[in-house]
Structure 1
Amino acid sequence: MIHQLPVTLEQLYNGAVKKLKLSRNIVCPACGGIGGTKDCVIRCDSCKGRGVRIEITQIRPGMVQQMQSTCNVCEVKAK
């Protein structure tokens, strides 16, 4: 985490005490950030939940072709 804290050169040289208030978002422990229970979301087997499918085809020995397309099974919902 990076946060800018304004200090003067004198404070930097002599040292100073500064109070810093931070807020952060945490992932819900009940749902893991998906908005429902873990049992209600089924992961797409076709794209493994990424929303895109990667197809690798060997054209000849030592040469492969990689194609990426949106998943037609989960329709890019990636669940």
Structure 2
Amino acid sequence: MSIQFLGMIGHRLSSETIAPVGPIFDRDYIVRFAQTHEAAGFDRLLVGHWSDQPDGFLVTALAGLSTQKIQYLLAHRPGFVS
């Protein structure tokens, strides 16, 4: 039995204590975040998908193009998201 380490990636820097700033789709942040997780040895990144944020497929595509071996899980929500 093996263990996998999963992280979670967003579309820009923000949290419960950090107010979002900058572009809503921060390319530099996404690339840096994905590469940092890969360098730290994470196996996968979870990509959220919400109706009020950039398309999770775009976040996944950009992150995937900037990494070599980390895998991605897209938590899409079927139905109306626009």
Which structure has more RCO (C-alpha within 8 Å, separation ≥ 6)? 2
Q: TM-score, length-normalised on structure 1? A: 0.24
Structure with higher strand content: 1
Structure with higher helix content: 2
Q: TM-score, length-normalised on structure 2? A: 0.23
Which structure has the larger Rg?
A: 1
